[in-house]
């Protein structure tokens, strides 16, 4: 029996593991990988305390710190979460684990284009991670799809590897930070195609060509899709309340509609999706889980310094 099972190994889940471990909670982190979306960011300049770092390096530090405080990590994907009485059971593909509380921090999965050829060429030129697959396109021409921070970041990263990048976005201007937009415009290897949409991905064994809505055809060796992420609701429905976007509704203390279940990071209804915010929510979720367990066992919960002073 664990005190808390954390579903997800990104910044939110790992930070929750750090804080849960520091409170001496028996903690299990279940995740397919370490770092989630954050680990794919090659250049992070806005995480406090780091002028510049990579997502992989930052998440590695989160991971090692969580383990140093006693969090147990298993590389298994949660498939089902059920509640019986006041306890929870989390089933993975091969095991079942019991816990007093749950912290949902599984983040999101990449949104797909939904065009002919995308499914066929996944792993054969179609990618959803520039830092993972960019090196496979060394000295080749690729297309990056999207207009947000992640898309522009991916195009800039690939400009150091590829011979040419088409940055394709359906809008009239990028919704990304102006700082990134200026860097993209200054990069000679990147050709920006606004008000453009990809309609077909084709090739023989691997990606060779894409068609645009305008009728224009481009010869490319790869397509990197960066059009955002969506919540995987498969284990959430019938467990917690979701909003219209499929995100978990949470209180200021990261509580969900289900007693004993907390949520943190990009999977919640927080307006801003940033690593530092996910980490902060993970810390709050772990403290709230500790507080919940303490009070449930008839002990005193967390008392804030301001409460002590007022007494």
Query: Which residue spans within 16-95 are E strands per DSSP?
Result: 27-30, 72-74, 80-84, 87-91
- Angstrom distance (rounded) from CA 167 to CA 130: 13
86 is catalytic: no
**Dist CA 66 CA 29 (whole Å):** 9
Enter the tokens of residue 46: 């806005």
Measured between alpha carbons, how far is 243 from 262 in angstroms, rounded to an integer?
A: 15
Residue by residue, what is the 3-state secondary structure of 149-213?
HHHHHHHHHHCCCCCEEEEEECCCCCCCCHHHHHHHHHCCCEEEEECCCEEEEEECCCEEEEEEC
Least Cα distance to 291 among 69, 107, 100 occurs for 100
Q: Give yes or no: 219 in active site.
A: no
Residue 103 has phi, psi (to 5 degrees) of: -120, 115
Cα 298–chain centre separation: 36
Angle at 177 between CA 147 and CA 192, to 5 degrees: 40
Cα(162)–Cα(136) distance, integer angstroms: 9
Question: Would residue 162 show up in a list of annotated catalytic residues for this protein?
Answer: no
Residue recorded with tokens 């808390």: 4
Residues 6+ apart with CB under 8 A from 309: none
Q: Which residue in the list 129, 232, 269, 291 is annotated as catalytic? A: 129
- From CA 210, how far away is CA 199, in angstroms rounded? 7
Catalytic residue among 133, 153, 158, 266: 133
CA 272 to chain centre: 13
Please identify which of the residues 57, 86, 132, 182 carries the catalytic annotation.
Answer: 132
Residues recognised as catalytic:
129, 132-133
């Amino acid at each position: 029996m664990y005190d808390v099972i954390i579903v997800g190994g990104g910044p939110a889940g790992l930070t929750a593991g750090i804080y849960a471990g520091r409170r001496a909670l028996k903690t299990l982190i279940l995740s397919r990988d370490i770092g989630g979306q954050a680990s794919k960011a090659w250049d992070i300049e806005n995480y406090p305390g780091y002028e510049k770092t990579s997502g992989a390096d930052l998440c590695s530090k989160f991971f090692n710190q969580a383990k140093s405080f006693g969090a147990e990590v298993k590389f298994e994907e949660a498939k089902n979460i059920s509640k019986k009485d006041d306890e929870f059971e989390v089933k993975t593909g091969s095991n079942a684990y019991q816990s007093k509380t749950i912290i949902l921090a599984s983040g999101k999965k990449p949104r797909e284009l939904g065009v002919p050829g995308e499914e066929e060429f996944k792993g054969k030129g179609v990618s959803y991670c520039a830092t993972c697959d960019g090196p496979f396109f060394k000295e080749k021409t690729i297309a990056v799809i999207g207009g947000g921070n992640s898309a522009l970041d991916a195009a800039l990263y690939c400009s150091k590897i590829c011979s040419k990048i088409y940055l394709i976005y359906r809008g009239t201007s990028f919704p990304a930070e102006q700082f990134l937009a200026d860097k993209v415009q200054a990069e000679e290897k990147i050709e920006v195609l606004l008000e453009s949409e990809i309609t077909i991905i084709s090739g023989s064994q691997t990606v060779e060509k894409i068609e645009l809505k305008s009728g224009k055809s481009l010869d490319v060796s790869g397509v990197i899709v960066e059009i955002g992420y969506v919540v995987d609701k498969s284990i959430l429905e019938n467990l917690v309340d979701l909003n219209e976007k499929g995100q978990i509704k949470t209180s200021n203390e990261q509580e969900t509609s289900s007693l004993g279940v907390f949520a943190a990071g990009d999977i919640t209804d927080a307006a801003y999706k940033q690593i530092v915010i996910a980490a902060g929510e993970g810390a709050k979720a772990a403290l709230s889980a500790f507080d919940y367990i303490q009070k449930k066992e008839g002990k005193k919960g967390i008392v804030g310094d301001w409460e002590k002073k007022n007494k």
